[in-house]
Amino acid sequence: MGAKKSSPQPTLAELQQKIRAVGLRSTSPRVAVLRELETASAPLSHADLVDALCDEGFDRVTLYRNLTDLTEAGLVLRSDLGDHVWRFELRRAGKEHQGFHAHFTCTDCGTVACLPEGAIALTPVKGAPRALANRAVEVQLRGVCDRCD
């Protein structure tokens, strides 16, 4: 299920600069993937990106390889929200999307949403894994969304 657009599209030059800043070549598929993730309001699956970008001439394998490259370069976060489907989202410059933020998945319609910062607070305690202290964790909540309730 695709996510609605949340913000204005960045310029081509801005996208190319982001890609080059992490040591990757700026290619058409990478720019297209980054553009879609930049304007999405929720994490997108590979299938969502294929649906959005197939009319631009990019095949499934090309998009998957570029998602992998962008993830390994640190521009994109990859999450499995419990349904065995990888979802991808842009790693943001501010606090949001930096190693920890929670997702909500509706058990009725399957909609995935990023929860606002502060919706879930993690407090490191003695004996907890270091990942918790480093905030390198994934938190997912399940329930019925407002639309389905």
Q: Which residues carry a binding-site annotation for Fe cation?
A: 97
Question: Pick from 92, 142, 84: which is nearest to 113 by CA?
Answer: 142
User: Which residues have a Cβ under 8 Å from the Cβ of 47 and sit 6 or more positions away?
Assistant: 85
Residues annotated in a binding site for Zn(2+)? 106, 109, 145, 148
Residues annotated in a binding site? 97, 106, 109, 145, 148
Q: From residue 15, give the alpha-carbon distance in Å to each of 56, 116, 117, 122, 138.
A: 17, 25, 25, 33, 26
